[in-house]
C-alpha cells in the first residue's frame, strides 16, 4: 500500500524578512533620534544675567547704605537693587554716632532654599570691628565687598522714615 504524499510546509521565515525587519527598526530608531530638537543655550529660556558678586570699590558714586538691625530685629525684607542693604548685627557693638564703615570680609554666601544669601560681613568702624549678616539675593544685589566703604543707618532711623 502506498501512502499519499503530502508536501510538508515548514514554517520558515524567508531570509529577506529576517534581515529587513531589524534593519527597518534600526532605521526607525535613528530617524526618531535625529528628529529630536537639539539642546542649546536657549533651551530653557536663559535667566537674567546675574549681577557681579562684588561691587567695584574704586568706582565713583555714592556709598551704599547698610541698615543695621539688632540681633533679634525682624527686618521688613531683604536688600534689593533699588533700596537699602538689610543686615542684622551678629557680633560687637556699633559705636554711638557711627556713620560709615569699611567692609573687611564676606563669607557664608551660600543661598538658602528661597535663594536668599545670609552673608556674614566684618565691618571696621574706626578701631572697632563688628559682624553683620547681610540678607540678599545675589542675582540682583551684590554682596558687601571687601574694601567697600558703606554708610550706616540704624534700624530705628530706617523705621522712622517709613
What's the whole-number average pLDDT of the chain?
A: 83
Tell me if residue 16 falls in helix, strand or coil: helix
**pLDDT single digits (tens) 106-123:** 999 999 999 999 999 999
**pLDDT single digits (tens) 25-51:** 787 777 766 666 655 555 555 555 566
- Model confidence at 23, pLDDT cuts 50, 70, 90, reads confident
pTM: 0.67
If one counts every other C-beta atom within 10 angstroms of the C-beta of residue 13, the result is 8
Pick 155 or 20 by higher pLDDT. Answer: 155
Q: What is the 3-state secondary structure (H, E, C) of 83-115?
A: CCEEEEEEECCCCCCCCEEEECCCECCCCCCCC
Pick 2 or 42 by higher pLDDT. Answer: 2
Mean pLDDT on 7-22:
65
Reported in sequence order, the residue ranges of the chain that DSSP labels E, i.e. its strands, are: 65-69, 85-91, 100-103, 117-125, 128-136, 149-154
C-alpha cell at 114: 528661597
Amino acid at each position: 500500500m502506498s501512502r499519499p504524499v503530502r508536501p510538508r510546509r515548514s514554517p520558515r521565515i524567508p531570509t529577506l524578512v529576517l534581515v529587513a525587519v531589524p534593519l527597518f527598526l534600526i532605521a526607525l530608531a535613528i530617524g526618531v533620534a535625529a528628529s529630536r530638537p537639539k539642546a542649546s543655550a536657549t533651551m530653557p529660556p536663559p535667566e537674567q544675567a546675574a549681577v557681579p558678586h562684588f561691587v567695584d570699590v574704586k568706582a565713583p558714586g555714592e556709598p551704599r547704605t547698610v541698615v543695621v538691625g539688632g540681633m533679634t530685629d525682624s527686618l521688613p525684607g531683604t536688600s534689593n537693587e533699588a533700596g537699602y542693604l538689610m543686615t542684622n548685627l551678629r557680633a560687637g557693638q556699633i559705636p554711638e554716632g557711627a556713620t560709615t564703615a569699611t567692609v573687611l570680609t564676606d563669607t557664608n554666601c551660600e543661598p538658602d532654599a528661597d535663594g536668599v544669601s545670609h552673608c556674614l560681613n566684618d565691618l571696621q568702624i574706626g578701631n572697632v570691628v563688628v559682624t553683620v549678616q547681610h540678607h540678599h539675593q545675589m542675582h540682583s544685589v551684590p554682596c558687601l565687598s571687601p574694601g567697600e566703604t558703606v554708610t550706616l543707618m540704624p534700624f530705628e532711623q530706617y523705621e522712622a522714615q517709613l
